Each structure stands twice: as C-alpha cells, then as structure tokens.
Chain A
Amino acid sequence: MYALGVDVGSVSTNIVLVDNSGNVVEKLYIRTKGRPMEAVRSGLAVLKEKYDDRQIQSVGVTGSGRMIAAIQIGADIAKNEITAHAVAAIQMDPEVKTVVEIGGQDSKIIIIRNGIVTDFAMNTVCAAGTGSFLDRQAERLEIPIEQFGDYALEAAVPVRIAGRCAVFAESDMIHKQQLGYAAFDIIGGLCEALVRNYLSNVAKGKELLPKVLFQGGVAANKGIHKAFENELQLPVFVPPHYDVMGAIGAAILAREKLEREKKKTMFKGFSVSDAEFKSRSFICSGCPNRCEVVCVLENQKAIGYFGDRCGKYNNRSFSSPAVYV
C-alpha cells in the first residue's frame, strides 16, 4: 500500500509514492511548463503502467498548484508547501533545526525546534535567486542547468554581482561578462550573491542553528550549496530526495490524516490520466468585485471553480472544503 504525494510547483511537478515504512519507492520529476494539469496527468500516466488504483491508500497534494490538482485527482489533503517541506524534513532527520528550501519561484526558511515548526519566512515580492532565475541564466549562457553548480565550483575569483533583484543581477552579470570576466567567476559570483540575498532578505532576523537541511530543486546546485556553507560557517546537508521533499511531505500528511480520521481515500484512480482536462476563466459580473473565476473541466464537465470571493461558484466544487484543513 502506498501514499501518493504530488507537489505542483511553478517549475516542476513532482510525484512520489511512499510505502508504509516511509521509503520513497517511486519518484517523478516533470517540468510544469505552465500547464499544471497536463503535468499531473502525464505523471499519473507513467504510474498507471506499474500500479493499480487499489494500491493507493491516500493522496496528498501541495505546491502552488495544489488547489487545481486536488480537484483533478481527488486528493485527501491539500497542504501548503511550507508545512509539507517541514514535515518531510522532520521525518528524514529528526535532528533538523533549520530548513533552507529554494524552489522554482519561492525561497523559504523554516525554523524547527524539537520537531515543531516555530518560525518560517518566504521571499516577499521578488523572486530573485530562485530556480526559475537560475534556469534563465543557464539558458542565456548556454550551460545545462545540471552543470551550473560545477561551473561555480571552478570559480577562482568570484565576481561581485548585485543579488537584490533578478533584473539588476542580470544586467550586472551582462556588464561583467562584456568586460571579459570568465564565465566560471561570474557564475560563482552569482551563487554568492543569491545566498547573500537569501540570508539578508528571507532569513533576516532568524536564528540559523545546525542541523541545516537544504532542499528544493536549487539544492542540486553545488555552487549555491557551497556558498551557503561558506557564508554560514556550518555544514549544510542536502537530503537524498531533496528535489521531491514537498511531495513526500504531502504523502505523509495524507496518510496521517486518513489514519486519524479512519477514512477511505478520495483518489479518483489512475484513469484520470486518460481524461481531458481544460480550464476556462471568466469575469463574474454579479457584483462590483468582478472576480476572475476559473472553471476546471474534466471531459467537458465542470468539476470545480476557483477565484470567486462570495462562494457563488466555489461551493459547486467537486472536492469538499475539508480537503484544505
């Protein structure tokens, strides 16, 4: 019996199957490409080949696309990614006191004491230093993102880059590059700048105690990892499943919830991967709020609505609000 965990993020959609003893038996990493429902659908299609609906005991979703995914696959719980990441980190390593998580568009810090989240923070309005920005820089320099970190490790003299804003960082990088600085040094400098920005913005005022876990897609970047260790003067650990921790957390939370409530899963089955999902949006003219309402369609049938404040459409959603607690 497995718990299915789905993390629909801005850059990647991660799907995991966790067995009863907490081991990750299956792990999929799919690029979201701006189409969350398609990413989830294609992921389930892969799992469908190997697994049976009856093997799935519980389903948890997380990530910025959790609402839509919950409706799409029939989730037992839709949890925010901060809690999901914290739960997974505590499960992986009960000693953890600090979690640094950098994903596609978010960076977070989670402070844990005695296995309880005591504080957290997320980047505010700017996404400088997150995965999508690194992706873009890798693309611009024509370096595969997987090797980006190795380039940084090669830096002899990291160049100083302004890390406060993604747009400024990029112009700073281009200016330095046009002056002839080596790509290694620029990438090394960028990693340092992003870590500096993270520590003075996201982690400001927080007490970073060991053990520090570094998770999220950006943890694959060795340059950033090393820059964190240098800046913090602490060992920073990257857990083995660093890239799918959110999905693991969602799976754990879903299992815990069903066990606590002694309920059966709401999972709609792997057949979901054969259905056609679409969404359409319209502006409700019911009142001056003029809400942008999104309607999710499964095989042309409306299965859920989002975005209205008064509940006129929301209440018609397929999944019950109990999913969100």
Chain B
Amino acid sequence: MRITIPHLGNVYLAVKILFDSLGIDYIIPPLNSKEALRLGSKYSPEEICLPFKLMVGNYIASVESGADTVLLVGSCGPCRFGEYSELQMRILKQLGHNIEFIIMDPVSSIGLNELFKRVRKVGSTSKKSALSKMGSIFLAFTAMKLIDEIEAAAHTIAGYETNPGEAKGLLSSCKKEVFKCSDPIKAVNILKQYSNRLKAITVDYTKKPLKIAVIGEIYTVIEPFSNLYIEDILMDMKVSTTRKLTPTWWVKDMLLKTIKLNSRELLNASNEFLPLYIGGHARECIGEAVLAAKEQMDGAIQIFPMGCMPEIVSKSILPSVTQKKKLPILSLVVDEMTGEAGYRTRIEAFLDLLERRREHVRIRC
C-alpha cells in the first residue's frame, strides 16, 4: 500500500513526519501548481469548486508516481465538500485507476467503530507496536502545531521586522529543510530551531503596520496556491496578518465536535449575526470577522472559491458586520484564474483604504 494525500497548506510536512515515523510507504504529490490545476480541471466537473479540482490534480500526479491509496478527510457535510470523496473515487475509477480511498469522516457521521476500522486500515501496514504508533501520531501532531505556529509568527512579524523579508525567508527555508529531512525526530528538531530563530528576529514594535485578519473558506485560506499566495503578498507589503483557521485548528475542531465543545469562541462571536449552522465554515467566518473587530484589527480579507455556498451566505452577512463593528472587509473570490493583476489591484486598494481610514480616525480623535 502506497498512500498519498491531497495538499492543504503545510499538512504534507506533518503527514510526511507521520508516515516516516510509522514506516508506511507514501507519496507526496508535487506542490500545487498550474500543472495540478490543469490536470484537475481537465478531469473534474466544470462547475465544482476550486479545491476539488486541485485535489484531483494532486491524486493524478501521485498515481502516476505509483500511489494506490488516497487518505483524505471527509465531512458528510451539507456543503459540496461532503461529496468530494465519492465523486473523486468515481473520477479516478473512470480514468482506469484502481485506487482505494480511506476517508476520515467525522465520528458523528460514521460512528467511532467505523472510524477506528479506517484508522486501522492505514495503521496495519506499519510494523511498529501500538505504543510507538501512538508516539508517531503525537509526533506528527506536535509537528503540525509547530508548523502552524511558525507560519503564524512569520505572518505577524512581517509587519514589524527591522529587515523586511527576513521572516518570509525563514519560513520558506524552513519548509524546504523539513521536507528534505526523512528522519522524523530530526525534522521536528528543525522545526523547533526555526521557531526559535523566528523569535530572535529583530523587530520594532513602535511600527504601526496594518493588521489584517484572513478569513473565509478553510481550503482556500490555507492552501497558498489557491489564494494566489495572498499571505506572501501581504508579507511583502509589510502587513501583519492573522488567520484562525489552520490545520491544527481543524483537527481540534473535529475532535471537540463530538462533544460539541468545538471553537466556542468563534461560534459565540458569530451568534449576533448568524446563530445557525448552515454548513461549511460560514459561522466561523462571521465569528472571525467579529473577533477581528474586537481585537482591533484594521480590516479583514475574506477568501472563498467561486460557488462556495456557505461563504456566499457569509459574504452577504459581512456588510452588516462592517457596519456594526466598523471593520472594513474585502471579499475575494478565487477560481481557476492565475493572473494576478486584478487580484493585486483589489488588495492594494484595500490597503490604501485602511491606511487612509486610520489616518482619518487619528485626526478626528
């Protein structure tokens, strides 16, 4: 069994550490690129959302390198993500690939027994003892947490660093080094080193950079290729960004969902505007916007793939958040376009708006 996964931001690094540690054979597809998009949109239904297409592109690249099993998370949910796995299975079958799918659906939908059965299916190819398997999972989760922390720190520091570009440089060399390392323990140590190096960057907290929250649909906020590397663009523009939705957040959310204790803060914050669950992460998106206002961010950027139902709903609610909480919000819709000019125009204009608005507020006070 040779397992592959679709890309989602830096998850591949943690998965690599997990499989290296378990001794399971795996293939990580090449990072998302125009090639993945080309392959994905060739074989996917035309009207499906962007994440689906990129994922199909990932599978096909992996299958060509010899993968025979896809490991993927599911949702059985009321947005299209719930249909992803079923449709993707069919597409690969029609293309003549005999691929097995192992889907980690939420416990609430498939029950604990079924989930354990699926986890065992993955684990069965590992020769490690049950205890050391637990250790591997713990190690991978630690790695995921570290990567998310490193990324978040770099995004925040970018607005304050004395030598512009330092945080971005560290972040990109960190990913490269970890990916090259096939010893899981060493890989985690590399992460720890980078985490410390980031903390050691000289910063000037007297600077007043624009602070922006990146909110919206989970795949497109996390996967940089799908959002045209918005966080990198904002780092280059010396903006300090935060994002609450991360792979670590997702894992915690999934686990806590079973006892209904997941992301209380976000959901409570969304109550004023959207008290009902409507699928996807619409409530989280609204909650994030409300919290961004509370945390005195200058603005928020909402990103979602074209046709994303939950986010269309939140997009139409966000103007009321803007009005009531005095938080400017820019909505960006991503699809198959890779031309950046129009995208940059919107971001730059939004930054201009925030800057002028801030100056204005200062004058009035």
Q: A: which residues have CB within 8 A of B?
A: 64-65, 67, 79-83, 105-106, 114, 116-122, 124-125, 204-206, 287-290, 292, 309-311, 324
Q: 5 tightest CB-CB pairs across the interface, nearest first? A: A82-B349, A205-B319, A80-B348, A288-B31, A64-B341
**Cβ of A125 and Cβ of B345 under 8 Å apart?**
no
**Cβ of B34 and Cβ of A310 under 8 Å apart?**
no
State in angstroms the CA–CA spacing of A287 and B175 once bound together.
12
**Cβ of B34 and Cβ of A290 under 8 Å apart?**
yes
The answer to whether A116 and B356 touch (CB under 8 A), given A288-B33, A290-B35, is yes
Q: Which residue of chain A has its CB nearest to the CB of B354?
A: A117
Per-position binary interface string of chain B over residues 302-333, scored 1 when its CB falls under 8 Å from any chain A CB and 0 otherwise: 00001000000000100100100000100101
Q: How far is the CB of A145 from chain B (nearest CB, A)?
A: 23
Near A by CB (< 8 A), chain B positions 27-65 give 30-31, 33-35
**Cβ of B337 and Cβ of A125 under 8 Å apart?**
yes
Q: How far is the CB of B299 from chain A (nearest CB, A)?
A: 11
Q: Which of B30, B316, B341 contacts A204 (CB 8 A)?
A: B316
**Cβ of A125 and Cβ of B306 under 8 Å apart?**
yes
**Cβ of A80 and Cβ of B319 under 8 Å apart?**
no
State in angstroms the CA–CA spacing of A65 and B341 once bound together.
8
Q: Which residue of chain A has its CB nearest to the CB of B328?
A: A119
A-B contacts, 12 of them at CB < 8 A, read: A67-B341, A80-B352, A116-B356, A117-B357, A119-B322, A122-B342, A122-B345, A125-B306, A125-B335, A205-B316, A288-B31, A289-B31
| Chain A residues within 8 Å of B119, by CB | none
Q: How far is the CB of A14 from chain B (nearest CB, A)?
A: 16
The answer to whether A309 and B229 touch (CB under 8 A), given A64-B342, A80-B345, A106-B342, is yes
| Chain A residues within 8 Å of B117, by CB | none
| Chain B residues within 8 Å of A81, by CB | 345, 349
Q: Which of B33, B322, B352, B357 contacts A289 (CB 8 A)?
A: B33
**Chain A-chain B contacts (Cβ-Cβ < 8 Å), number:** 75
**Cβ of B348 and Cβ of A83 under 8 Å apart?**
yes
State in angstroms the CA–CA spacing of A277 and B31 once bound together.
34
**Cβ of A124 and Cβ of B333 under 8 Å apart?**
yes
The answer to whether A116 and B357 touch (CB under 8 A), given A67-B341, A289-B31, is yes
**Cβ of B335 and Cβ of A80 under 8 Å apart?**
no
Chain A CB count within 10 A is highest, among B316, B341, B344, for: B341
B206, CB-defined interface residue at 8 Å: no
Near A by CB (< 8 A), chain B positions 341-361 give 341-342, 344-346, 348-350, 352-353, 356-357, 360
Chain A CB count within 10 A is highest, among B165, B232, B319, B353, for: B353
The answer to whether A288 and B30 touch (CB under 8 A), given A118-B353, A125-B337, is yes
State in angstroms the CA–CA spacing of A105 and B337 once bound together.
14
State in angstroms the CA–CA spacing of A188 and B204 once bound together.
59
Q: Which residue of chain B has its CB nearest to the CB of A290?
A: B33
| Chain B residues within 8 Å of A116, by CB | 356-357, 360
State in angstroms the CA–CA spacing of A118 and B356 once bound together.
9
Q: How far is the CB of B91 from chain A (nearest CB, A)?
A: 24
Q: Which residue of chain A has its CB nearest to the CB of B31?
A: A288
State in angstroms the CA–CA spacing of A287 and B229 once bound together.
15
Q: Which of A106, A124, A309 contacts B306 (CB 8 A)?
A: A124
**Cβ of A292 and Cβ of B34 under 8 Å apart?**
yes
B129, CB-defined interface residue at 8 Å: no
Q: How far is the CB of B54 from chain A (nearest CB, A)?
A: 14
Q: How far is the CB of B358 from chain A (nearest CB, A)?
A: 10
Chain B CB count within 10 A is highest, among A67, A205, A310, for: A205
| Chain B residues within 8 Å of A324, by CB | 348
State in angstroms the CA–CA spacing of A115 and B20 once bound together.
59
Q: A118-B328, A120-B349, A205-B319 are in contact. List 20 more A-B contacts (CB 8 A).
A: A65-B341, A67-B341, A79-B352, A81-B345, A81-B349, A82-B349, A83-B352, A106-B342, A116-B360, A117-B353, A117-B356, A119-B322, A120-B350, A122-B346, A124-B306, A124-B333, A125-B337, A205-B316, A292-B34, A309-B229
**Cβ of A117 and Cβ of B352 under 8 Å apart?**
yes
| Chain A residues within 8 Å of B335, by CB | 125
Near A by CB (< 8 A), chain B positions 174-199 give 176
**Cβ of B345 and Cβ of A82 under 8 Å apart?**
yes
| Chain A residues within 8 Å of B353, by CB | 117-120
Q: How far is the CB of B35 from chain A (nearest CB, A)?
A: 7
| Chain A residues within 8 Å of B35, by CB | 290
State in angstroms the CA–CA spacing of A324 and B352 once bound together.
12
B172, CB-defined interface residue at 8 Å: yes
Q: Which residue of chain A has its CB nearest to the CB of B340?
A: A307
State in angstroms the CA–CA spacing of A288 and B56 once bound together.
18
| Chain B residues within 8 Å of A117, by CB | 349, 352-353, 356-357
Q: Which residue of chain A has its CB nearest to the CB of B356?
A: A116
| Chain A residues within 8 Å of B30, by CB | 288
State in angstroms the CA–CA spacing of A192 and B176 once bound together.
54
| Chain A residues within 8 Å of B342, by CB | 64, 105-106, 122
**Cβ of B172 and Cβ of A310 under 8 Å apart?**
yes
The answer to whether A64 and B345 touch (CB under 8 A), given A116-B356, A118-B357, A204-B316, is yes
